[in-house]
Amino acid sequence: DKKYPLRAAVYDEYRKRSPLITKAKAYELIAERFKISVPTVRRYIRRMESGSMFALPTGTQGRHVYAWSDEALSFFTNFYLAAIKEVGGCTVRNAYNCAKAEAARQGWQIGSEASAYVHARNISPTMKMLAKGGQRALDNMFYISRDLSKLKPFQLIVGDQHIFDFWCENPYAKGDKDKYIRAECYLWLDMATRLVYGISFDIAYNTRTVTRALRMGIKRFGKFESTYNDNGSSEKSKLADDIVQRLQNYGVRFLDEADLYQAENNRYIVEDTEGLVVDVAQSKAEWEKKHRRIFARVKNAKTKPIERFFNTLEQILRDQCLPGHVKGLAISAPEEEQAAKRLEWQKKNGCILGYDDFVKCVVRALDIYESRVHSSLGCSPKERLEECKREGWMPTMIDPRDEAYLFMESAMRQVKGDRIELNGVEYIGPDLTQEMVLQNRGTLVAYNRQKVEVRYDPENLALGVFAIEPGTNHAIALRPVKKIDMLDEREVVEQLEWKKRNIRAVQEAFKIATGDKSVRVLSEPQKFAELRKSEELAQASDYRLESKKEPEPVPAVVRKIDAEPLESQEIPRSVSRQKDDYGEMPMSFNRREESLSQEDFLEGVAERIGSESLKRAQSRPVFYDERERYEWTLNQYHAGGHLSREDLDFMHDYESQMDSRQVAYYESYSKKFIGR
Is residue 300's pLDDT more than 50?
A: no
What percentage of the chain exceeds 90 in pLDDT? 17
Q: Given the DSSP bridges, would you call strands 451-456 and 465-468 parallel, antiparallel or unpaired?
A: antiparallel
User: Do the domain assignments include residue 536?
Assistant: no
**Residue 550 pLDDT level (bands cut at 50, 70, 90):** low
Q: Establish if 71 belongs to a structural domain.
A: yes
Report yes or no: 187 and 306 within 8 Å, Cβ to Cβ: yes
Lowest-pLDDT choice from 383-392, 463-472, 590-599: 590-599
| pLDDT, greater one: 194 or 276 | 194
Whether the predicted pLDDT of 229 surpasses 70 = no
671 has a pLDDT exceeding 80? no
In angstroms, the CA 242 to CA 245 distance is 5
Instruction: Quote the pLDDT of residue 99.
Output: 93
What is the per-residue pLDDT for 295?
Answer: 36
Q: Does 350 or 578 have the greater pLDDT score? A: 350
- What confidence tens digit (pLDDT) does each residue in 52-102 have? 555 444 445 555 667 889 999 999 999 999 999 998 889 999 999 999 999
Are 301 and 274 contained in the same domain? no
Same domain, 245 and 262: no
Does 172 lie in the same domain as 321? Answer: yes
Q: Which whole number is the average pLDDT over 402-421?
A: 84
Number of domains in the chain: 6
What's the pLDDT band for 580 if we cut at 50, 70, 90? very low
Residue 263, SS3 per DSSP: coil
Tens digit of pLDDT for each residue in 183-214?
999 998 998 899 999 999 988 877 788 888 88
Which pLDDT value is given to residue 67?
Answer: 83
Rounded distance, CA 676 to CA 671, Å?
A: 9
Whether residue 317 is predicted with pLDDT greater than 90 in this model: the reply is yes
What Cα–Cα distance (Å) separates residue 577 from each residue in 20, 453, 468?
89, 15, 10
Backbone angles phi, psi at 156, to 5 degrees: -145, 120
C-alpha–C-alpha distance, residues 407 and 388, integer Å:
29
Q: Does residue 558 surpass a pLDDT of 60?
A: no
Statement: residue 283 has pLDDT above 80: no
Strands (DSSP E) contained in 110-257 are 157-169, 180-190, 196-202, 227-229
Confidence (pLDDT) at 528: 60
Residue 223 is predicted with a pLDDT of 82
Q: Are residues 29 and 172 in the same domain?
A: no
**pLDDT 10s digits, 425-484:** 888 888 888 888 888 888 888 888 888 888 888 877 777 788 888 877 788 888 888 887
DSSP conformation class of 230: B
Q: What are phi and psi of 558, to 5 degrees?
A: -75, 120
Contact by Cβ (8 Å): 509, 520: no
H-only helix segments in 222-303:
238-249, 284-290
- Looking at the structure, do residues 248 and 285 belong to the same domain, yes or no? no
Whether residues 86 and 135 fall in one domain = yes
Better pLDDT: 418 or 367:
367
Average of pLDDT values for 522-551?
Answer: 60
Q: pLDDT tier at 301 (50, 70, 90 boundaries)?
A: very low
pTM of the predicted model, to two decimals? 0.55
Q: Is residue 148 assigned to a domain?
A: no
Are 175 and 232 members of one domain? Answer: yes
CB atoms within 10 A of CB 219: 15
Residue 616 is predicted with a pLDDT of 52
Query: Would you mind telling me the total number of residues written for the chain in this entry?
Result: 676
Return the sign of the alpha-carbon dihedral for residues 470, 475, 476, 481: positive
Do 477 and 410 share a structural domain? yes
Q: What is the pLDDT of residue 552?
A: 55
pLDDT > 70 in the chain, percent: 70
Answer yes or no: is 541 within a domain.
no
Q: Are residues 174 and 243 in the same domain?
A: yes
- The tens digit of pLDDT for each residue in 248-268 reads 666 665 443 333 445 555 565
- pLDDT exceeds 50 at position 272: no
Most confident of 242-246, 575-579, 655-659: 655-659
Burial label for 566, CB within 10 Å (0-12, 13-18, 19+), is exposed
User: Which of the pair, 617 or 186, is modelled with greater confidence?
Assistant: 186
Is residue 470 domain-resident? yes
Q: Strands 268-271, 259-262: parallel, antiparallel or unpaired by DSSP?
A: antiparallel
pLDDT at 241: 66
396 within a domain of the structure (yes/no): no
Report DSSP state, residue 302.
G
Among the ranges given (233-237, 523-527, 582-586), the one the predictor scored with the smallest mean pLDDT: 582-586
Q: What is the mean pLDDT of the chain?
A: 76
With respect to residue 649, please indicate whether it lies within any of the assigned structural domains. Answer: yes
CATH value at residue 94: 1.10.10.60
Domain that holds residue 11: 4-54
Confidence check: pLDDT of 555 > 70: no
The last residue of one of the domains, among 237, 268, 290, is 290
Residue 201 buriedness (CB in 10 A; 0-12 / 13-18 / 19+): buried
Q: How far apart are CA 154 and CA 148, in angstroms?
A: 12
- Burial class, 401, CB count within 10 angstroms (exposed 0-12 / middle 13-18 / buried 19+): buried
| pLDDT average, residue stretch 125-153 | 77
Do 607 and 624 lie in a common domain?
no
Task: Answer whether residue 45 is part of any domain.
Answer: yes
Amino acid at 174: K
Q: Is 595 exposed, middle or buried (0-12, 13-18, 19+ CB in 10 A)?
A: exposed
Considering the domain architecture, whether residues 302 and 222 belong to the same structural domain is answered as yes
User: Does residue 283 sit in the same domain as residue 297?
Assistant: no
* Stronger pLDDT, 634 or 58, i.e. the higher one: 634
